[in-house]
Amino acid sequence: MKKLFVLALLGIMAFATFTCSAAQKVLRVGTEPTFAPFEFTNEQGEFVGFDMDLIRAMGKEAGYKVEIQNIGFDGLIPAVQSNIIDCAASGMTITEARSKVVTFSNPYYTAGLLVMVRKDNKDIKSYADLKGKNIACQIGTTGENKSRAAGGKSVTAYNTNVEACMEVVNGTADAVINDAPVVAFYLKTPAGKNCKSVGDILEAEEYGFAFNKNNVQLIKDMNKALATLKKNGEYDKLYAKWFN
Ligand code: GLN
């Protein structure tokens, strides 16, 4: 009788181990993928870019299966707050206002804002020259805030960064304010060949991954994973892949 009991117990334990390992923890990541080289989609429709590689590597390191979905930039923070996603990975600048409603990981990239105009534009040489001009930006971004403070004639906020830049290419807008590394990348693409950046980097900004404030353990795990990847050279490898 005792033997039978032990056998049954062992069976239950084996089954439990099996089901536990089969159901790996999932990390639901949201991103707005029009922000190359941080997040964009390739011809196969896959999410690629520095953020995508980094969050996948961090998830793997911390023992999560990473699943990525497309969410509008202005919908990312609400999605984190309402636990529709666990993490926003979207070139998101760590700001005071956002830090009131979500918790950011430790910073993983230093960026800043830059003005982009058409190459044939003669009168915009810096941010100060945007007074009275038509400015395009992406909705809900730090670039939008900076655009609204520029004293322009109009500010139009688009859902995607690609649309905002296209307005400059088409000449519908005089300038776009966007993150400096994204402008640099865009200038090297066919769409950006008739554009240029003007003036200095406007604002020093740091990117973080955003989490729900209540997800204390996850934030700890992910910060630990980020630190490990920085130490073991994996972060540097990804940096070189996307920025060299
Ligand atoms: N870094 C900027 C922000 O956080 C822009 C991000 C983006 O467009 N993906 O607002």
pLDDT tens across 198-233, in order?
A: 999 998 999 999 999 999 999 999 999 999 999 999
For residues 157 and 147, what is the distance between their CA atoms, to the nearest angstrom?
A: 9
CB-defined site of ligand 1, < 6 Å: 32, 35, 73, 90-93, 138, 141-143, 161, 179
Average pLDDT, the chain: 94
Test site for ligand 1: of 142, 162, 163, most ligand atoms within 8 A of the Cβ? 142
Test site for ligand 1: of 147, 179, 203, 209, most ligand atoms within 8 A of the Cβ? 179
Rounded to two decimals, the pTM is: 0.90
| Closest of 93, 87, 90 to residue 110, by C-alpha | 93
For residues 98 and 240, what is the distance between their CA atoms, to the nearest angstrom?
A: 29
Of the pLDDT bands very low, low, confident and very high (cuts 50, 70, 90), residue 142 is: very high
Strand-strand pairing, 39-41 and 65-70: unpaired
